[in-house]
Structure 1
Amino acid sequence: MYSIYWMSNFLIIFLIFIFSTSALDKAINFKKSIVTLSNFGIKKNYAQIALVFLLVVEFYIAISLKLMGVTLINLLFITIFFSTVSVVIFINIKNGKKNISCGCGGILENDNLSYSIIIRNIIFILISLCLYDKELDISNAHLIIIFIVIASIGLINLSIKNLKNFKKNMIKVIEKLQ
């Protein structure tokens, strides 16, 4: 019984981490995220509005999962979110647009669209269904440590991505100066 309790807490923390790092990455790279949404066929003006909406939804889900666990409202938001994203990815794959970023952000970022992203999203929905009506209880110190480790890995991953982008931009600047 304890292992099921531990596993459900870990999965809720994992979902919180997924949504918070995704939103954080989109917020940090706001202009790049607008370009990514534009690559999906969304006009730039609408892409900005869509991005703000996505950020609000992702932060809301992360915070509400932390505060309330997987409630019916959270389950609906998660299901609608991942279903909508999957439909958009499916349409773009069918239209031959595979060589664009998925726009997921965070640790989920992928430079090419594929059906594996859709399968991953379905798995997240199924995980959420399994966790329905479970509250997060981080009274145990080991769960807090696990969250800190996962968060640290995610932040290191974001830092590495930003350093790579910084390096590319510096090379471009140097080339222009020569």
Structure 2
Amino acid sequence: MNVDQLVHLMAITGTTFLVLLFVISVLHKLLDVDRFSGYVNNYDLVPEQSVKATTYGLIGLEIAISLGLIIPAFNGIATVAAIALLSIYALAMLINIRRGNTQIECGCGGPVMFLSYDLVLRNGLIILIALPALFAHPTDINMIDTFVSVSCGALLFLMFIIAEKLLANFHHSQTLNR
């Protein structure tokens, strides 16, 4: 296996992870748009009259990213959009952490977690997982390698879910101990 094939397989793993991440995130937001709108409002980064439009814009963008990651012709632009959106979310968290507004639920779609540097770091790690997709060149890989890469992406996502739950529990226990 050469380097191009390895990067391509890493890109498939990362893309699978991102698809699962964004699809679950979108479903979470669509199940309770009003709650997500409240999170957007709590960040206090857009004027109050723009909160609903921002809410629907973010949901629409996450849907577009999810679809773009599934359609090979749009993988590149969808990956760039995913990285940009994850960076914007991290920046929004950082701004509020610096303001002292840490009692805001992140609104990420997983367990209840309030803003912390851990969440900013989490977004950074997700971006690192996405990066190989930007540098991958289509190469000849067999179906078994593709299956293994997709399976690794799904396993990585399951590990991510477990890590998020552990992080949420850790933060809740820290709050209780104060």
Q: TM-score, normalised by structure 2?
A: 0.69
Task: Identify the match of residue 53 of structure 1 among 30, 51, 57.
Answer: 57
Identity of aligned pairs, percent? 22
Q: TM-score, normalised by structure 1?
A: 0.69
**Residue deviations 1:71-127, cap 9 Å, x none?**
1x223212221111111100100111111110111x3x4421011111111122222
Residue identity in the other structure for 2:132? C
Matches within 5 A, 1:86-125: 86-105=90-109, 107=110, 109-125=111-127
Going from structure 1 to structure 2, the CA distance change for 1:57 and 1:85 (only over 3 Å counts) comes to: same
For 1:45 and 1:26, the matched residues in 2 are separated by 20
Going from structure 1 to structure 2, the CA distance change for 1:145 and 1:45 (only over 3 Å counts) comes to: same
Instruction: Indicate the structure whose relative CO is greater, using CA pairs within 8 Å and at least 6 residues apart.
Output: 2
Check whether the contact 2:14–2:132 (CA below 8 A) recurs between aligned residues. no
Matches within 5 A, 1:52-91: 52-68=56-72, 70-71=75-76, 73-91=77-95
SS at match of 2:134: coil
Going from structure 1 to structure 2, the CA distance change for 1:77 and 1:94 (only over 3 Å counts) comes to: same
Unaligned runs of 5+ in 1: 158-178
- The structure 1 segments of at least 4 consecutive aligned residues displaced by more than 4 Å after TM superposition are 137-147
Going from structure 1 to structure 2, the CA distance change for 1:138 and 1:83 (only over 3 Å counts) comes to: farther
Aligned to 2:131: 129
Task: Identify the match of residue 11 of structure 1 among 6, 10, 14.
Answer: 14
Aligned to 1:168: none
Unaligned runs of 5+ in 2: 163-178
Check whether the contact 1:9–1:138 (CA below 8 A) recurs between aligned residues. no
Aligned to 1:37: 40
Q: CA RMSD in A?
A: 3.3
Going from structure 1 to structure 2, the CA distance change for 1:129 and 1:142 (only over 3 Å counts) comes to: closer
Residue identity in the other structure for 1:39? N
**Across the two proteins, how many residue pairs are aligned to each other?**
151
